[in-house]
Amino acid sequence: MSRLGQMRHLGLFVAIGLLVIVGLITKPDNFATTSNVVSMLSLAATIGVITVGATFVIIGGGIDLSVGAIMALASVWATTLATQEFGPFVMAVCAILVGTGAGLVNGLLVAYGRLVPFIATLAMLVAARGLAQRMSDRKTQLIQTGNSAIVELSTTRLLGIPLLVYVFALVVVLGWILLNRTTFGRRTYAVGGNPEAARLAGIDVRRHTMLLYALSGLCCGIAAILIMARTTTGSSTHGDLYELDAIAAVIIGGTLLTGGRGTIIGSILGLLIFTLITNLFILNGLNTSDQLIAKGLIIVVAVLLQRRNLKEIR
Amino acid sequence: MLVMRGIVKQFPGVRALDGVDLDVRAGEVHCLLGQNGAGKSTLIKVLAGVHRPDEGTIEFNGAPVSPGSPNDAIRLGFATIYQELDLVDGLSVAENIFLGHEHARLGFVRRAAGNRGAREVLARLGHPEIRPSAEVGRLSPAAKQVVSMARALSHDARLIIMDEPSAALAHDEVANLFRIIRELTAQGVAVVYISHRLEEIREIGDRVTVLKDGRTVAVGLPARDTPTSQIVSLMTGRNVEYVFPPRASRRPGDEVLRVEDLTSPGAFAGVTLSVRAGEIVGLAGLVGSGRSEILEAVYGARPATGQVVLAGERLRRGGVVRAVRRGMGLAPEERKAQALLLDQSVTANITLGSLPEFARFGWIDRARERAEATRLVEALDIRPPAPERPIKTLSGGNQQKAVLARWLLGGRKLLLLDEPTRGVDVGARADLYAVIRGLAEQGIGVLLVSSEVPEVLGLADRVLVLREGSVIHQGAAEDLDEHRVLDMIMEGRAA
Ligand SMILES: Nc1ncnc2c1ncn2[C@@H]1O[C@H](COP(=O)(O)OP(=O)(O)OP(=O)(O)O)[C@@H](O)[C@H]1O
Ligand SMILES: [Mg+2]
């Protein structure tokens, strides 16, 4: 299993290597610069944190379409004038609480309300964005100068790399540990792989399912802090279509949408592939529609390759 | 009719088949015997086009063939009933039976014709009560087995391969199966039959091929009069006495389980029973008599009224989680659907029921987990002895042992075992009996369900006979014999 796992990741590494070579050839002056790499990583950080949460939900047999909207709502809630009065720390806590709370609602609807995850989180997507628009009056809310500590996550650098990239790395490491070294992770695979077997083995499948969505919401809250730092704003338009990028990254990384299989590392590599493609298209001045087409193709190719892999072990 | 020569199949790290020969004649029942993991299922999957052999030749009616896909095999006239059922739960019975060769016109499925066809096949199988429109996911395991048999019959097959078809069937159903097999062979259809039950081989088989470690060790033995000892020693390479361990030396202790007036409408009614520490209580009855349902209800996995008291503490309804925490464990009947995480390692499957034991603040102590799993793999002789392998690469019997291993961990007070030896070979079975008896000796209470009456009588201290959802007899196993129990479960005549 682990050998096959590494082989699968090998494919992703090869893809990343190829994209880097393309970058070096087509834009030798711009691609390998510190500023380009840093901007790529900062961009990847926000979706990356969300992707970690999405990986848990999908391995657990669910899906979360509401991640982008929850992030937007958290960013708006944390940047209202009322919240900003309490300073940057409370703003951060607010973002996390809002994210986790919305995730918990998803979890309750799916686990105890028995709604299909697709529908429950679709409803949350619409509702959370609506609430964000209402709270912000569809205006972009700037972070006040007194609260610039949040913005420093993006402006302060350690060894040349913005702090928010370290936050992302920390979330990945914690996510990996949670998935691979704890009972929570083990149960996630069980609940996604065979819910009936999990139930008969004495696992509280419903409670666990609920926690998975709450975890995803928590990641959205953290992502909200990062996007506030990067853009110095909270806005109801943040994170539009992030759910698609996050799910695509998870799929490219080898996690099955049917649940029970997958890895955090795969998801992050999948995300890096996406980020590299975006970057290459922008550097080469190609238009965004072509970029979307390329991404679509990548998803299909990745899934086809994985199907081959699957067959081999069966 | 069918000749396979020198078949080799290599999986990553295992040579499952290492030069197997098989020779099947038209109109015969050819039995394939071998220990768990000998390669029986792999061999028939080669025939069925699921696996491609690495070496070897297959001839059918004198012409070389190489089934490259399940469809090829069906077109050649090979129909297969797999060991692990391969039905689509969300579809109806009729849809499952005709999956891949639907009654259709211009791409539209003709549902009425399909239902009619299904009804015919089911009636032929002696099961007119299974509705063609019923959803397969809601059927009992035995009914599913019938449906998968119906699917094999729905093709005009000249060779029918059956991988442990009787494992999920009760006594009378097996008789039914045999009747159909006789009809088929009378028409010149050849049947390849795999089973771990030697009595069945004797009754239905014509010739026997024995596999051991992926090689053929005997071909074309007469099924009826080859001595058991010879077959067993060919299979295992040792002499196994097919015996049950002696009954408990100690008297059973305090009551660990008391069930009072347990009722689940449509399944069973007014069941009262008790299990003491160190006692093995067996439930005998036909499929559909409510045996498995009683275990599920005791476990909290099925709604029921009445009382369940575990070690003096009354369990509130509806909580498997609580039941497990209080020390129960259920090894369910259908290992693939109800017990296994196919993609996960043997270790993860074994420790799933007792994860908290291996964790501190949620952090899993993987070294200890691995050590415990390895210990159990060795104790139950799970092969290959590689706990890190994905469990789906193990043979059926070895998977079954892993299901049992799950509940040997975590200090259980009461084990509910539903068909614990399903698909386990003759040699390993004796070992499992010893393990179960050993658990009882340690003071664990065991409630056992088995379709095999000799197993219930040989292993249990006390036996409850069920018929149509009620207990019709209760008594010491020593006072009963197979004949009387069969009489009771079939005719309803209490002793
Ligand atoms: N997909 C696979 N990948 C790797 N190894 C496999 C795979 N399928 C089977 N094996 C191995 O091949 C060997 C033969 O397995 P097989 O299922 O044919 O045994 P069997 O004779 O049918 O046993 P049983 O009586 O338990 O059903 C076993 O060692 C098993 O672990
Ligand atoms: Mg088998």
In contact, B409 and B439? CB cutoff 8 Å: no
Q: What pLDDT, on a 0 to 100 scale, did the predictor assign at position B317?
A: 65
pLDDT above 80: residue A309: no
What residues form DSSP beta bridges with B280? B446
Task: Compute the C-alpha angle B162/B168/B172, nearest 5°.
Answer: 95
Task: Give pLDDT, residue A313.
Answer: 42
Task: Please write the tens of the pLDDT for every residue from B262-271.
Answer: 999 888 999 9
pLDDT, position A1: 40
Say yes or no to pLDDT of B56 above 70.
Answer: yes
pLDDT digits (tens, 9 = 90+) for B107-165: 666 778 888 888 988 888 888 888 998 988 888 877 888 888 888 888 888 999 999 88
pLDDT at res. A117: 95
SS3 content of chain B, % helix, strand, coil (to 5): 35, 25, 35
Residue located nearest, by CA, to atom 6 of ligand 1: B393
Is B241 within a domain? no
Task: Show residues of chain A in contact with B342, CB under 8 Å.
Answer: 193-194
Task: Give phi and psi for A107, each to the nearest 5.
Answer: -60, -45
Task: For A188-224, write each residue's pLDDT tens digit.
Answer: 999 999 999 999 999 999 999 999 999 999 999 999 9
Q: What is the pLDDT of residue A292?
A: 84
Confidence class for position B193, pLDDT limits 50, 70, 90: very high
Of A181, A193, A204, the CB nearest to B341: A193
A168-188 average pLDDT score: 95
Tell me, what's the pLDDT at B197?
86
B182 and B276 together in one domain: no
8-state DSSP, B316: P
pLDDT of residue A307: 66
Which ligand 1 atom is nearest residue B39's CA? Answer: 18
Q: How large is the average pLDDT for residues B232-255? A: 76
Mean pLDDT across chain B, nearest whole number? 88
B236, B263, B286 - which closes a domain: B236
Nearest C-alpha to atom 5 of ligand 1 is from which residue? B393
Q: What is the pTM of this model?
A: 0.86
Q: Higher pLDDT residue, B348 or A309?
A: B348
Please check whether residues B192 and B333 belong to one and the same domain.
no
- Are A186 and B12 within 8 A, CB to CB? no
State the pLDDT confidence band at B493, using cuts at 50, 70 and 90: low
Statement to judge: residues B446 and B385 lie in one domain: yes
Are B221 and B262 in a shared domain? no
Same domain, B264 and B208: no
Q: Which two structure tokens, joined as six digits, stand for A165?
A: 């990239």
**In a domain? residue B232:** yes
Domain total in chain B: 2
With vertex at residue A274, the alpha carbon angle to CA A268 and CA A280, rounded to the nearest 5 degrees, is 135
* Assigned domain for B93 exists: yes
The three-state secondary structure class of B468 is coil
Query: What is the average pLDDT value for chain A, to the nearest integer?
Result: 90
**B267-292 pLDDT tens trace:** 899 999 999 999 999 999 887 788 99
Cis omega (within 30 of 0) on the bond before B165? no
Secondary structure of chain A in the HEC alphabet? CHHHHHHHHHHHHHHHHHHHHHHHHHCCCCCCCHHHHHHHHHHHHHHHHHHHHHHHHHHCCCCCCCHHHHHHHHHHHHCCHHHHCCCHHHHHHHHHHHHHHHHHHHHHHHHCCCCCHHHHHHHHHHHHHHHHHHHHCCCCEECCHHHCCCCHHHHCEECCEEHHHHHHHHHHHHHHHHHHHEHHHHHHHHHHHCHHHHHHCCCCHHHHHHHHHHHHHHHHHHHHHHHHHHHCEECCCCCCCHHHHHHHHHHHCCCCCCCCCCCHHHHHHHHHHHHHHHHHHHHCCCCHHHHHHHHHHHHHHHHHHHHHHHHHHC
A189, A197, A202 member nearest B338 (Cβ)? A197
CB-based pocket (< 6 A), ligand 1: A 314; B 11, 14, 16, 34, 36-42, 83, 384, 393-398, 423, 425
Provide the CATH number for the domain around residue B173.
3.40.50.300
Residues B28 and B145 in one domain: yes
Q: State yes or no: pLDDT of B495 exceeds 60.
A: no
Q: Which residues of B touch A182 (CB under 8 A)?
A: 359, 362-364
Task: Looking at the structure, tell me whether residues B118 and B84 fall in a common domain.
Answer: yes
Q: Is the pLDDT of residue B454 over 90?
A: no
Cα(B33) to centroid(ligand 1), Å: 14
Q: What is the per-residue pLDDT for B189? A: 92
Would you put residue B251 in left (φ > 0), alpha (ψ -120 to 50) or beta?
beta
pLDDT at position B276: 94
Q: Of B236, B270, B293, which residue sits at a domain end?
A: B236
One domain, residues B174 and B283: no
| Structural domain of B128 | 2-236
In the listed set B193, B208, B236, which residue is the last one of a domain according to the structure? Answer: B236
Q: Which residue of chain A has the CA closest to B301?
A: A200
B315 band by pLDDT with thresholds 50, 70 and 90: confident
User: Does residue B244 lie within any of the structural domains?
Assistant: no
Taking CA atoms, B76 is separated from A200, B49, B63, B102, in Å, by: 41, 10, 11, 18
User: What is the structure's pLDDT at B176?
Assistant: 83
Question: Which residue from A183, A202, A314 is facing B320, i.e. has the nearest CB?
Answer: A202
* pLDDT for B489 beyond 70: yes
**Which of B7, B14, B421 gets mutated to test ligand 1 (max ligand atoms within 8 A of its CB)?**
B14
Is the residue at B98 inside a domain? Answer: yes
Q: How far apart are CA A28 and CA A33, in angstroms?
A: 9
Strands of B215-222's sheet in order across: B78-81, B159-163, B190-194, B29-34, B207-212, B215-222
pLDDT tens-place string over residues B162-184: 998 888 777 777 888 898 899 88
Helix (H, G, I), strand (E, B) or coil at B18: strand
Query: How close B278 gets to chain A, by Cα (Å)?
Result: 23
Ligand nearest to the CA of B393: 1
Measuring CA to CA, which residue among B331, B327, B445, B321 is closest to residue B380?
A: B331
Q: Are B306 and B427 in a shared domain?
A: yes
- Which whole number is the average pLDDT over B24-32? 94
Tell me whether residue B249 is in a domain: no
> Is the same domain home to B139 and B232?
yes
- Residues B82 and B176 occupy one common structural domain: yes
The answer to which of B197-201, B209-213, B404-408 has the lowest mean pLDDT is: B197-201
Check pLDDT > 50 for residue A314.
Answer: no
Q: Do B342 and A183 make contact, defined as CB atoms within 8 angstroms?
A: no
Q: What would the pLDDT profile of A244-276 be if each residue is shown by its tens digit? A: 999 999 998 888 888 888 999 999 999 999 899
Q: Distance from B96 to chain A by nearest Cα, in Å? A: 22
| CB contact at 8 A, B261 and B272 | yes
Q: Which of B301, B323, B341 sits opposite A190 (nearest CB)?
A: B341
**Residue B48 domain-assigned (yes or no):** yes
Q: Coil, strand or helix: which one is B395?
A: coil
Chain A hits for B388, Cβ within 8 Å: 1-2
Q: Token digits for B227?
A: 């001595």
pLDDT at residue B24 is higher than 60:
yes
Task: Flag whether B229 is in a domain.
Answer: yes
Binning pLDDT at 50, 70 and 90, where does residue A3 land? very low
Cβ separation of A189 and B363 shorter than 8 Å? no
> Ligand 2 mean position to B196 CA, how many Å?
10
Are B339 and A201 an interchain contact pair (Cβ–Cβ within 8 Å)? Answer: yes
- Whole-number pLDDT of residue A312: 45
Per CB-CB distance under 8 Å, the chain A contacts of B320 are 199-200, 202
User: Is B352's CB within 8 Å of A186's CB?
Assistant: yes
pLDDT tens-digit profile of B345-394? 999 999 999 998 898 889 999 999 999 999 999 988 898 899 999 999 99
Domains of chain A: 3-20+33-306 (1.10.3470)
Residue B448: strand pairing partners: B282, B417
Q: Is the pLDDT of residue A8 over 70?
A: no
Q: How far is CA B467 from CA B268, B270, B471, B483, B493, in A?
A: 9, 12, 6, 16, 10
Identify whether residues B116 and B178 lie together within a single domain.
Answer: yes
Contact A194 B390 (CB under 8 A): no
